[in-house]
Structure 1
Amino acid sequence: MNLVKAKARTQQVLFAFVGLAFSVTASADFGSYQSHTLKGQTLNVQTDQGNLAITLHNQQAMEISYQPEHIKQLPSFALSPTSTQPTTANFSSTKDQLHFGSEQLTVVVDKNPLTLSYQRHGKPLVKEESGLFVQDAIRGFRFSLDANEKILGGGQRVMGMDRRGQRMPLYNKAHYGYETESQQMYFGLPAVFSSNKYIIVFDNSATGNLDIGATEASILQFDAVGGRTSYLIVSGDSYPHLINGYTQLTGRQPLPPRWAFGNFASRFGYRSEQEVRDTVSKFREQDFPLDALVLDLYWFGKDIKGHMGNLAWDKDAFPTPVKMIQDLKTEGVNTILITEPFILTSSTRWQEAKDADVLATNANGDAKTFNFYFGNTALIDIFHQPAQAWFWSIYQELMLQGVAGWWGDLGEPEVHPDDSIHRLKDQVATGNEIHNAYGHEWAKMVYENQRRRFPSTRPMVMMRSGFAGSQRYGFIPWTGDVSRSWGGLKPQVELSLQMSLLGLGYTHSDLGGFAGGEKFDKELYIRWLQYGVFQPVFRPHAQEEIAPEPVFHDQDTQDILRPFIKLRYQMLPYNYTLAFENSQTGMPLMRPLFFEDEDNLALMDNSASYLWGDAFLVTPITSPGLTDVRVNLPKGVWFDFFTGARHLGGKTISQATQRDSLPVLVRAGSIVPMVAAVQSTQDYSSHELDLHLYMDKTVKQCFGKMYEDDGKDPQALELGRYELLEFAAHQRRTRTDIVLKRVHSYAKAETERQINIILHNQLKKPRNVRLGDKAIDFKFDPEQQRLTLSLTWTHVDTTVSVQY
């Protein structure tokens, strides 16, 4: 199809849509039942208003797709291509109802008027209040809420963990310099997470609203100006089980490359090749590990304005970029480049992009141009296949030069005219209809093309905005341009937890804060970076007036932070195992306290503390001058990670903190694998492995595990090219038995390891330590109450017996 014909077709489809959208009569229900058909895992119900398709995707999850006559339907963005698992579907019919589902989740279809309700194991779960409603171009759903039900969700917002009583816009939008309140931010999610253990995802990419009992206290309402009339529902027997079902439905996060768990150098921005080289040298000189350097927009232009869309090296500032990338890689530093989806009319690629028909159009089929901060521009039509091919060709060229990771910025898109026309495979959509899926489709394009073209690499795709299910494209979100202030630090746990509960487990912040901050606040900076050790990505980033990199601060700041950043590297075996768990079950790396006591609804409001995996409880310092913090301790026994102090759980404690420590507790019964710090994950090795066992008389058994692969193979799990170790300790009356097992191995696995076992809270010196019938040496520190013993392990099942 030539360009003239393509423009004509675009206008025809657009005008046809506009005519239909405003001819729909108001409807508060979906009419009356006429007939049904059952085929496999899908039940189709025909009414006098259209068809209702109910698909059982797995034991826990269903897709509910209302298909009214004459209502345009966009494709699903939330559903994973692998969402449907073979599942036995149960069905029964009576005069007034249809029952369809699994042992776990059942939908009850009332026939007249047609409404749906849901059961978990035969007990009421949640119900539609009136089902689908349509009013002109507005469409949506209404559900009834229980009186005491708490609702999380909606994605990135700063409004407290329980979002009940809030009405929030569903339109991804930048909020520069936010602090302790934000109703609308970079990455909204049209989804809710209920204390009753269900998730509902409104699979609609259009501009809309999520009203969680704000307008009507007992009603959850979703509405949008267009888009798909469909939702997904997931049920679980526990919160982790619920997340497992949700991520089975919408997709799970693939393992990032191991280097993504290291330290990043990042700022707005490095202006020259020499500055990049000098910065990397500074990290080595000051003995700070480093794994990645992020180049902001100066890599393609010397000024902030006027160059966006060049997407090619500014050779004046970066005369030998390929050699620079190679040299950095030799030092173990990976290069990440920023890209944006805007092509300025002043950029060197403007005419190329226009001629290639890769830009979103206006109603006449011409490139839609508009003004925003960076200049006069058009927007890449990321939904249009020719546009994707053109955009990917730029990424491919840069990857061939050695670029290792991508930073997609402004992908809400930050400015997106409502009347922009986007071309999907067989239809068109306006900016308003498709806005919230823009970043999602962009990430998909980068991820899938990289997996196809560079099959031996793991994509590292850091992006600011997306949709439900974006995690399946390796999506690593951050929390945007946060204020460089205590107010900016305070909501970061809330933001990460809310996103993690809905699959986006790598949500992190610009450590130290990004926006503003005329004067360096040393305490704030230290506290933010200390917290960063226990979040998914360690990436200080800020406007350059105050250096975000610790190596450019005073000696005292460096001396406090160096051990923390090295701790990040020491914890690589533990953190990488969390990533493995996330890729398999969707379990977040950062976990809310309410996972510990699912009957205590008050815990759902707590974002002052969180769990880092199963072993650590972290309470960031978010106010200046604090010498202690109040911590709501889950049941059990907990030890201060830095001092070893023992605390009995099930109560609120006051935990002391020092300038060079963070309130971090370790659960008794944990076994934490660690290694020595390295300059870069390029040098990573677990040949010598430290196993930290946190013992207590109240815990008779301790458990831990460790996942390992080569850190870069994207098919490691699929093809079994990984190692999985399991550790246990069993306390008996006269001895403690420590068991080491390798339950899975591969060709590149270590043939033997030097294992250093460190038993914390060891109250007395043992008589001896035996490996089979052989005594082994040990060291006992009575002051630290710590027992250390070492052995060479050949990976056969091994039991070490500590005898008293």
Structure 2
Amino acid sequence: MKRKSIVSLLLGTTAATLCLLVLPASGAVEDVNFDVSTKAPGYSVKGRRGAHKTKTGLEIPLELKHSHHHEGIDLYGKTIKDLVVDVDFETADRIHVKISDKDQKQVPVPDSPLGIERPRLRKSAKKRNYEFKYTEDPFGFQVIRKSDKAVIFDTTDYPLVFEDQYLEITTAVPDDANIYGFGETTIPHFRRDNVKNVTTIFARDAACPFYENIYGHHPFYMEIRDGKAHGSLLLSAHGMDVLTVEGRITWKVIGGVLEFYIFVPDDDKPNSVVQSYTDLIGKPMMVSRWMLGWHHCRWGYEDIDQVQGVIDGYKEHNIPLEVAWVDIDYMDTFQDFTFDPVNFPQERMIQLGHDLHANRQRYVIMVNAGKHYKSGYEGYEYGHDLDIFMKNPDGEEYVGQVWPGYTVYPDWFNPDVSKYWNKLIADWVELTGIDGTWVDMDEPAAFCLGSCGTGKKDQAPPSLEPWTLPQETQDQMYAEEEIAIKNLSNYVQDSRDLLYPNYAINNGHGNLSVKTGSMIAYHHGDIPHYDLHSLYGHAECKLTRDALIEHNKTTRPFILTRSSFVGSGRYAGHWTGDNASKWEYLKSSITEIFNMQMFGISYSGSDVCGFNDNTTETLCTRWQELGAFYPFARNHNAKQPIAQEPFLWETAAEATRTALAIRYALLPYYYTLFEESNRLGTGVWRPLIFEWPHVDAFLDNDDQILVGSDILLSPVVYENKTSVEAEFPPGIWYDWYTLETVDDQGATGKERAITLDAPLTHIPVHIRGGAILPLKTPTMLVEETFDSPYILLVALDDSGEAQGRLYIDDGHSLEPSETSDITFTFKNGVLKAEGDFGYSKPEKLDTIKIVGDIDATTASITDCSTPADNLELVKEDNAIVLQNAGIDLTASFTVRFE
């Protein structure tokens, strides 16, 4: 594939200038085993005029290359001959390259809060960290990082295929590249390898099988090359396979357009890539303080007495419990917004909320996506009257099956659906007093193929759990459903095969419509579910958030979702779904949470101790230790396995008390990190490589976790282990429990590998030298913990210095009127607090603990509302401690240690 000419847009000047250049020759395209895609003719820049400048960048018309050998080729769909490439130089660190069909018949991600709100640009960014180049014949493009001239995105030696149901594009990467991201899928390792190299992205209800697509849809990745990071998003809601093989990344997409955003921060740091990415998709939601406490739930509690018994069990064993959850068990025949009159009677469910609130605890219960197809049920009748449910191609309501039986599905893209949802949510919250909503089964999930409930209103399906029926019965039901869905396809006014596209992505369920909404169900505007499928849960989260705010305009809403899309972190938190009580799932939870943090969903976690299967005492103990530090921390399991409340084993209870005492002490630090995440977009949990990208030893370290930049967790995640082979970054690290420095024996170069003792009830936790941590005295409840005075833990680095930050607001307001943002620095024996002190409620700093190389006996406080001189210091736990300082955190102050 020889280039006839090359056009380069030089981006270093204020005015974009077109020049003819020659790229270094790279030879013929190598055999990349692309099936038949290398037979595609490709595209060339169209016409004499060719590319032309726009206010925001470039517009490049493309036409299908013609030759007698390639005439009329259609690989998997209908080839689209005329394309347009729009290149927008949006910001200094973000370039947008969209390849779309000229006639705009392909369906992109909606430009709305239900999809993504694209930036409104008036002109291109003047200063840019990247250059853009493209070849004319065949068309390909490169994005080049200006700081080191590295080509970070390069399609020029690979085929471009653009058909109505098959799009393929490839970028070159180094052999054995350091790739992170692409999801949602359960994988054991954060860094992608070249072996398990096909990632399918398509929202799917599945119990977390390894290397398969599950609940979310996130076509974003980051690459770290020679210590420098960049990222890329293919903004598409269509199903796709992503191949990460040696030397390339290839996307194979079954619809839509090729819309790329490429992120090139000026400091080349991984955290800055995440910040740039969330500049586009939206920053993670700000949590309320109570959300950071410990949560507990189980599917399968027989009655409300069992729920109360669990709440009492936590209290009796002195284990914090902030939020009690109730799964679908509370519903009357599994119908949303109803109560089982015998086992979970309405008056007792309401009283449970009152009792929890009286004890300063919180209350969350579940809502599912599908609504029972039943006469007299408000969830159906009200929606039917408003005509807001998804439709079959014949115009009738699409009827699948979930827990209540036959179910209809709200069409979140219908402009009238907000009226429906606002009323149901507001009435429900008003009745129950719940503190948040758990949105489940929102891929959407379905237990049958197609509209299996058509014409069966008020009827019960053969089984609420069809997978438990004899295999012969299941096969017969599936065959009948397949005939019905094919018959409905006769009504489809679409030239595409929406049920069985010729290119079959590696979807875990095979048929795209299995266990989810039918691909030929329709949304408002006659858009097939095929084109919007992976947006369903995302859109529900947005409208649920709107409904909760409509009901209570002053308080941050709580939403937890199973299905997610690009930008869902703006609206909701996420848990990683129906994992299993196995050691490999304990280990993979680290990777999954790392991915969610990178995807902009900072409030995320996994079911602690596992959801499916029976846990063991040892596994649950180790999981409680780690799960106590998840950004979203909840023990949750299914109805079939044994109970796994942490107080059922003394080892688990002891480990939980110890780990949660650390978490609750760190609550001001966590809360400050979440404010930073909400403002900047960075993750609360971070892999070591994100903080030290030049340390090659950290490239594949996914056994350890940084909470922010200052707390290092080294959990045991392998069976029968009582020690951890931990890697320590440069500098001093202090043991949380003893405040002793880590033994640096065996240090090699920039990193240190050290064996840490970790008996069953112990999780190693370390503090970075150079950090100042705001702490509290931990209690059983979040608000009681925050009621205690602040403690500053000053951990000195090699130079005897440290710094930190504290964010304060009222802990719950959607738009807090008063906030404080305080920066602490310690240098030459002087601690200074400066910043914005807008929070007027008196917040006391009583204790300052300094760890490190310091020898002081007295302290004096000046420049504050409560000045004091010659305060006595005491020595304890390898630290010097100033007690009873009595400092009001309402103004700047200085503390001198002599």
Query: TM-score, normalized by length of structure 2?
Result: 0.78
Aligned equivalent of 1:569 = 664
1:73 equivalent to 2:169? Answer: no
Q: How does 1:8-19 map to 2 (within 5 A)?
A: none
1:28 equivalent to 2:57? Answer: no
Q: Distance in 1 between matches of 2:361 and 2:701?
A: 37
Pairing partner for 2:588 from 481, 491, 508: 491
Q: Which shows bigger deviation, 76-85 or 599-608?
A: 76-85
Pairing partner for 2:56 from 2, 26, 41: 41
Is the Cα contact below 8 Å between 1:30 and 1:132 reproduced in 2?
no
Question: Gapped runs of 5+ residues in structure 1?
Answer: 1-24, 91-100, 302-306
SS of the aligned residue for 1:489 comes to helix
Aligned equivalent of 2:274 = 243
Aligned equivalent of 1:221 = 250
**CA offset digits 1:157-198 (Å, max 9, x no partner):** 3152222431111112233264xx333222241122111422
1:710 equivalent to 2:810? Answer: yes
Aligned equivalent of 1:701 = 801
Is the Cα contact below 8 Å between 1:486 and 1:623 reproduced in 2?
yes
Aligned equivalent of 1:409 = 440
For 1:218, the aligned partner's letter is G
Counting matched residue pairs gives: 741
Aligned equivalent of 2:471 = none
Q: How does 1:174-213 map to 2 (within 5 A)?
A: 174-176=205-207, 178=209, 181-196=210-225, 197-213=229-245
**CA offset digits 1:423-470 (Å, max 9, x no partner):** 24xx33323322211111111111233334421011111111111111
Q: Offset at 1:566?
A: 2.9
Aligned equivalent of 2:568 = 470
Is the Cα contact below 8 Å between 2:873 and 2:880 reproduced in 1?
no
SS of the aligned residue for 2:428 comes to helix
Aligned equivalent of 2:7 = none
Q: Offset at 1:594?
A: 0.8
Is the Cα contact below 8 Å between 2:107 and 2:257 reproduced in 1?
yes
Q: How does 1:127-142 map to 2 (within 5 A)?
A: 127-129=154-156, 130=158, 132-142=160-170
Is the Cα contact below 8 Å between 1:762 and 1:787 reproduced in 2?
no
1:125 equivalent to 2:115? Answer: no
Identity of aligned residues (%): 19
For residues 597 and 555 of structure 1, do their structure 2 counterparts lie closer, same or farther at Cα, with a shift above 3 Å needed? closer
Q: Distance in 2 between matches of 1:286 and 1:799?
A: 42
1:549 equivalent to 2:549? Answer: no
Is the Cα contact below 8 Å between 1:42 and 1:56 reproduced in 2?
yes
CA RMSD of aligned residues (A): 2.7
For residues 262 and 203 of structure 1, do their structure 2 counterparts lie closer, same or farther at Cα, with a shift above 3 Å needed? same
1:676 equivalent to 2:777? Answer: yes
Question: Gapped runs of 5+ residues in structure 2?
Answer: 1-38, 64-81, 446-514, 863-867
For residues 56 and 203 of structure 1, do their structure 2 counterparts lie closer, same or farther at Cα, with a shift above 3 Å needed? same
Aligned equivalent of 1:327 = 355
Q: Distance in 1 between matches of 2:325 and 2:739?
A: 37
Q: Offset at 1:297?
A: 0.5
For 2:345, the aligned partner's letter is F
Pairing partner for 1:768 from 851, 858, 863: 858
Is the Cα contact below 8 Å between 1:485 and 1:524 reproduced in 2?
yes
Aligned equivalent of 1:58 = 91
Is the Cα contact below 8 Å between 2:777 and 2:788 reproduced in 1?
no
For 1:635, the aligned partner's letter is P
Q: Distance in 2 between matches of 1:643 and 1:662?
A: 13
Q: Distance in 1 between matches of 2:105 and 2:696?
A: 40
Pairing partner for 1:653 from 748, 754, 763: 754
Q: Offset at 1:238?
A: 1.3
For residues 723 and 78 of structure 1, do their structure 2 counterparts lie closer, same or farther at Cα, with a shift above 3 Å needed? farther
For 2:337, the aligned partner's letter is L
1:364 equivalent to 2:394? Answer: yes
SS of the aligned residue for 1:186 comes to strand
Q: Distance in 2 between matches of 1:113 and 1:206?
A: 26
SS of the aligned residue for 1:493 comes to helix
SS of the aligned residue for 2:885 comes to strand
Q: How does 1:326-475 map to 2 (within 5 A)?
A: 326-345=354-373, 348=377, 349-371=379-401, 375-401=405-431, 402-414=433-445, 415-424=515-524, 427-473=525-571, 475=572
Q: How does 1:279-318 map to 2 (within 5 A)?
A: 279-301=310-332, 307-316=333-342, 317-318=344-345
Q: Offset at 1:705?
A: 0.8
1:756 equivalent to 2:847? Answer: yes
Q: Distance in 1 between matches of 2:399 and 2:44?
A: 41
Aligned equivalent of 1:93 = none
SS of the aligned residue for 1:565 comes to helix
**CA offset digits 1:559-600 (Å, max 9, x no partner):** 342232233222110100110111111111111111233233
For residues 477 and 548 of structure 1, do their structure 2 counterparts lie closer, same or farther at Cα, with a shift above 3 Å needed? same
Q: Distance in 1 between matches of 2:253 and 2:311?
A: 48
Q: Distance in 1 between matches of 2:129 and 2:233?
A: 18
1:740 equivalent to 2:833? Answer: yes
Q: Offset at 1:333?
A: 2.0
SS of the aligned residue for 1:704 comes to strand
Is the Cα contact below 8 Å between 1:687 and 1:750 reproduced in 2?
no
1:585 equivalent to 2:680? Answer: yes
Q: Offset at 1:144?
A: 1.8
SS of the aligned residue for 1:385 comes to coil
SS of the aligned residue for 2:637 comes to coil
For residues 454 and 771 of structure 1, do their structure 2 counterparts lie closer, same or farther at Cα, with a shift above 3 Å needed? closer
Q: Offset at 1:556?
A: 5.0
Pairing partner for 1:116 from 99, 117, 141: 141
Q: Distance in 2 between matches of 1:450 and 1:629?
A: 44
Is the Cα contact below 8 Å between 1:344 and 1:377 reproduced in 2?
yes
Q: Which shows bigger deviation, 581-590 or 65-74?
A: 65-74
Pairing partner for 1:792 from 886, 889, 898: 886
For 2:670, the aligned partner's letter is N
Is the Cα contact below 8 Å between 2:646 and 2:656 reproduced in 1?
yes
Q: Which shows bigger deviation, 68-77 or 357-366?
A: 68-77
Is the Cα contact below 8 Å between 2:297 and 2:324 reproduced in 1?
yes
SS of the aligned residue for 2:730 comes to coil
Query: TM-score, normalized by length of structure 1?
Result: 0.86
Pairing partner for 1:729 from 800, 822, 826: 826
For residues 506 and 751 of structure 1, do their structure 2 counterparts lie closer, same or farther at Cα, with a shift above 3 Å needed? closer
Q: Offset at 1:42?
A: 4.8
Is the Cα contact below 8 Å between 1:106 and 1:119 reproduced in 2?
yes
Aligned equivalent of 1:97 = none
Q: Offset at 1:614?
A: 1.0
Is the Cα contact below 8 Å between 1:451 and 1:459 reproduced in 2?
yes
Pairing partner for 1:265 from 285, 292, 296: 296
Q: How does 1:529-548 map to 2 (within 5 A)?
A: 529-544=624-639, 545-548=641-644
Q: Distance in 1 between matches of 2:857 and 2:98?
A: 68
SS of the aligned residue for 1:791 comes to coil
For 2:559, the aligned partner's letter is V
Is the Cα contact below 8 Å between 1:32 and 1:113 reproduced in 2?
no
Q: Offset at 1:692?
A: 1.0
SS of the aligned residue for 2:541 comes to helix
Q: Offset at 1:480?
A: 1.1
For 1:28, the aligned partner's letter is G
Q: Distance in 2 between matches of 1:496 and 1:209?
A: 22
Q: Offset at 1:713?
A: 0.9
